[in-house]
Amino acid sequence: MSLLIILVFLGIALLGMPLAFALGTAAVAGLIVSDIDFNLLPIRMMNALNAFPLMAIPFFILAGELMLKGGIMERLIDFANALVGRLRGGLAHGTMLAGLGLSTVSGAAVADASALSSTLVPSLKKIYGPGFSGAIVAAAANLGPIIPPSGAMIVYAFMAGPSVSVGGLFMAGVLPGIILVTSMMAMCSLVAIRRKFPRTGDAFSWRKIFYELKRSFLILLMPVVVIGGIVGGAFTATEGSAIAVVFALFIGFFVTRKLTLADLPKAMVRTAITSAVVGAMIAFASVVTYMLTIDLLPIKLSQLLQSLTSNPLVFLLLVAFSLFVIGMFLESIAAYTMLVPLLHPIALQYGIDPLHFGFLFVFNLVIGMLTPPVGVVLFVVSSVAKIKLGELVRNILPFLALMYGLLFMAIVFPPLALTLPRLLGY
Amino acid sequence: MSTLLRPLEVTLAALDRAAQWLIVILMTTMVTVVSAQVLLRYGFNSSIGWAEEISRLTFVWSIFLGIPLGIKAGSHIGIELLTARLPATLRNGIASLIAGLGAALMLLVCYEAAVITYTQWDEKLASADFSAALFVLAVAVGSAHSALHLIWLAATGERKADQDVTKVLE
């Protein structure tokens, strides 16, 4: 039955059916051959979504939407440029820091890619040309799901079950995220020196930095309150995400004063649609996962993998390679909903730390969002910034190499991801 | 456009508008209830007994109302690497067939959810005097609305990728 479900899913997904509905159709095929009542469909779909932790997804998306509408990008960019604008390749550094700042209030690479492309690419293009400009923005946007909050990590933790805490997984991303942004800035410097990009920013001034810090202070305070509250146990991830929405409303209405009441309904409907795309996949995948489980596929897969290797490192490398290939073709949410319930329990059997495996899984698929041919962040940057995809792909390759290098380091050196969660008691 | 499709178009426009305003109400409720719970806990050492169950209910409804709007907006993610290389006639034929198959799936889900809603209607939520079947009713309503959008796509072949569906809120 498992083989039939997988074949039906792949067949109709390749014919262009949205992945959520392809999962649903595959589940129906499984129900027919195993003679199980169709009423399993709505029951499992509803139960899959009837979960308080999942509510953090729309809340963080809505908070991000409201922050962007409230004009935070402009302040983050000004602050980033005051810090690093004078360096060679200063605007590229500023974009990386703006991406880092944005990733602390938004948990999605696609939304960040769209926001960064529309605001920064026109200025970047004038200095660096279209290809490198697009690559900088795409790489900076990919920090979104690595630095907390992270929609991908919320979905992972939910699909993995009680062995993974959202707060712990959030913290696992912090150190690698900082290393990544620092390495990417170093790479920007190298490229800037090699290609002789001019210095463009204003002269470095502590006064300007303090002025911009004052303007951005409340925006930068939001992740401290929200993520700090979640990690410190003051509230759950869902409650923290609702606080983020209230915080974003406060900033938009009273600090930047760019948000209007008329903006709210649109932001809410857009949020509901984005969440529904994820929700539909989780709902239908829950039926498929149930069918695969009663067919004992997870056990068979576990036995197969353990017959191949008993070494956790080899297992991690096998998973990383599989996710590299899958990430090239499949959208990441689909991969979380289908693969986490299968692979996470096997990782535990290998004695791998659940937070370590969770971080590697998320990071791997996040890099997949930049990997052609199906790199959703590349598509967004290419379409919003009007940059040819081929040119973008050529320029993104060094950033991809850096990310895969960091992934490999995180595989062989678990403290890279685990030090901060351990220090905080996870 | 065929006269047969005109009533479907009018129905979908009305349903979309209703779904969007309902989503606004549900989202506002979700944010208010969950953030008020935190405020009450720390500010007044108190809590709302029904907060979690009602916020889960509003979340489930917002997702199932969002799914058909996602179909209309072309937001649901699919793999188009293969079909994009096919001749236009074949590509459109396959798209209609796939939309028809999706409609059949959603009608099946809608029917099963409606049956469960009917049989469970008298069961109450643990914390509020509402029917527990309201959770499954969301599945039935969202699936029916989705099926209508997919029937529209199958019949017209109209594809609205990345369409801004929030215009009706203006």
Of A17, A269, A374, the CB nearest to B69: A269
Summarised one tens digit per residue, pLDDT across range A121-152 is 888 888 888 999 999 999 999 999 999 989 89
Phi, psi of A386 (to 5 degrees): 55, 55
How is residue A317 written in tokens? 């490398």
Q: Which residue of B has its CA nearest to A230?
A: B38
CA distance B138 to B68: 12
Q: If pLDDT is split at 50, 70 and 90, which confidence band does A375 have?
A: confident
The per-residue pLDDT for B81 is 73
Give the pLDDT band (50/70/90) at residue B32.
very high
pLDDT tens profile A223-243: 888 888 888 888 888 999 999
User: Which of B59, B75, B98 has the CB atom closest to A12's CB atom?
Assistant: B98
Q: Cβ of B64 under 8 Å from any chain A Cβ?
A: yes
Asked if the model's pLDDT at residue B165 lies above 70, the reply is no
Beta bridge partners of B124: B131
Name the DSSP class of A16: T
Distance from CA of B53 to the nearest CA of A (A): 8
Compute the mean pLDDT over every residue in chain B, rounded to the nearest whole number.
89
* Beta carbons of A83 and A209 less than 8 angstroms apart: yes
pLDDT tens-digit readout, A236-264 = 889 999 999 999 999 999 999 999 999 99
| Span B50-60, average pLDDT | 94
Least confident of A187-191, A290-294, A365-369, B97-101: A290-294
Question: For the residues A30-39, what does the mean pLDDT come to?
Answer: 93
Non-local CB neighbours of A30 within 8 Å, separated by 6+ positions = A1, A4, A5, A36, A288, A291, A295
- The amino acid sitting at A65 is E
pLDDT of residue B106: 97
The answer to whether A364 touches A326, Cβ cutoff 8 Å, is no
**Residue A310 distance to chain B (closest CA, Å):** 35
B73 touches chain A (CB under 8 A): yes
Burial (CB < 10 A; 0-12, 13-18, 19+), residue B41, is middle
Among residues of chain A, what percentage have pLDDT more than 70?
100
As a whole-number percent, the residues of chain A with pLDDT over 90 amount to 50
**Residue of chain B whose Cα is closest to the Cα of A333:** B77
Please tell me the predicted confidence (pLDDT) of residue B109.
97
A228's enclosing H/E stretch is: helix A206-231
Nearest CA in chain B to A332: B77
Contact A48, A306 (CB under 8 A): no
CB contacts < 8 A, A to B, total: 194
Q: Assess contact for A150 and A330: CB atoms under 8 A.
A: no
Interface mutation vs chain B, best among A235, A269, A287, A379, most B CBs within 10 Å: A269
With beta carbons less than 8 A apart as the criterion, state whether A257 and A309 touch. no
Closest CA to B77 of A51, A50, A284: A284
- Start-to-end CA distance of chain A, whole Å, equals 39
Mean pLDDT in chain A? 90
pLDDT for B164? 59
Q: Chain A closest CA to B7's CA: distance in Å?
A: 25
- Smallest CA–CA distance, residue B37 to chain A, in Å, is 8
In chain A, which residues have their Cβ closer than 8 Å to the Cβ of B105? 21, 24-25, 28
pLDDT at B168 over 90: no
Cα nearest neighbour of B104 on chain A: A25
Q: Give pLDDT, residue B68.
A: 97
**Residue from A10, A14, A15 whose CB has the most chain B CBs within 10 Å, to mutate:** A15
A263: contact with B, CB 8 A cutoff: no
Q: What pLDDT score was predicted for residue A340?
A: 92
pLDDT attached to residue A86: 84
**B141 and A CB contact within 8 Å:** no
Task: Identify the pLDDT of residue B25.
Answer: 97
CA gap A247, A222 in Å, rounded? 7
- The reply to whether residue B78 touches residue A16, judged by beta carbons under 8 angstroms, is yes
Q: Do B166 and A270 touch (CB under 8 A)?
A: yes
Nearest CA in chain A to B147: A21
Q: What pLDDT is recorded for position A16?
A: 87
pLDDT at A235: 87
Lowest mean pLDDT among A6-20, B43-57, B69-83, B136-150: B69-83
Q: Which of A183, A190, A194 is nearest to A401 (CA)?
A: A183
Tell if the CB–CB gap between A38 and B112 is shorter than 8 Å. yes
Contacts of A37 (CB under 8 A, 6+ apart): A31
pLDDT band at A354 (very low <50, low <70, confident <90, very high): very high
What is the DSSP annotation of chain B? --TTTHHHHHHHHHHHHHHHHHHHHHHHHHHHHHHHHHHHHHHSS---TTHHHHHHHHHHHHHHHHHHHHHHHT-S----TTGGGS-HHHHHHHHHHHHHHHHHHHHHHHHHHHHHHHHHTTPBPSSSSSBTTHHHHHHHHHHHHHHHHHHHHHHH----TT--GGGGG-
Residue A253 has a pLDDT of 94
A200 vs A84, residue with greater confidence: A84
Q: Which residues of chain B lie closer than 8 angstroms to A243, CB-CB?
A: 35, 38
Of B60, B66, B76, the CB nearest to A18: B76
Are B23 and A279 inside 8 Å of each other by CB? Answer: no
Q: Which A residues in the span 271-330 are in contact with B, Cβ-Cβ below 8 Å?
A: 271-277, 279-281, 283, 329-330
B151 pLDDT band (50/70/90 cuts)? very high
Please report the pLDDT score of residue B123 as a whole number.
Answer: 92
- In a 3-state reduction of DSSP, which class is residue A104? coil
The pLDDT, as a whole number, for residue A43 is 94
Q: Which residue of A has its CA nearest to B26?
A: A268
pLDDT at position B167: 53
Q: How distant is the alpha carbon of residue A149 from its chain centre?
A: 9
Chain B neighbours among A 46-75 (CB < 8 Å)? 46, 49-52, 54-55, 58-59, 62
- What ipTM did this prediction achieve? 0.92
The answer, yes or no, to whether residue B169 has pLDDT greater than 60, is: no
- Give the helix ranges, DSSP H, for A36-165: 40-49, 56-69, 72-84, 90-103, 109-128, 130-141, 151-160
Contact B103, B147 (CB under 8 A): yes
Mutation pick from B37, B50, B79 vs chain A, by most beta carbons of A within 10 Å, is B79
Residue A362 has pLDDT above 70, yes or no: yes
Residues of B in contact with A246 (CB under 8 A): 31, 35
Q: Which residues contact A201 (CB under 8 A, 6 or more apart)?
A: A81, A84, A85, A86, A87, A90, A91, A94
DSSP assignment string, A44-77: HHHHHH--GGGGHHHHHHHHHHHHHHTTHHHHHH
Predicted local distance difference test score (pLDDT) of residue A24: 95
Q: Chain A closest CA to B82's CA: distance in Å?
A: 6
User: What's the rounded mean pLDDT across residues A330-356?
Assistant: 89
Cis peptide before A149 (omega within 30 of 0): yes
Interchain CB contact of A382 with B (< 8 Å):
no
- Mean pLDDT value across residues A338-342: 88
pLDDT at A126: 85
What CA–CA distances, in Å, run from A158 to A104, A174, B141? 21, 20, 25
| Residue B159 pLDDT > 80 | no
Measured between beta carbons, the chain A residues lying within 8 angstroms of B113 are 41-42, 46
Min Cα distance B13 → chain A (Å) is: 15
Would you state the structure tokens that stand for residue A57, as one six-digit string? 């997804």
Token pair for A127: 């200095």
Contacts of B27 in chain A (CB under 8 A): 58, 62, 268, 271-272
Write the Ramachandran bin of A164: left for phi over 0, alpha for psi from -120 to 50, otherwise beta.
beta
Tell me the shortest Cα–Cα distance from B104 to chain A, in angstroms: 9
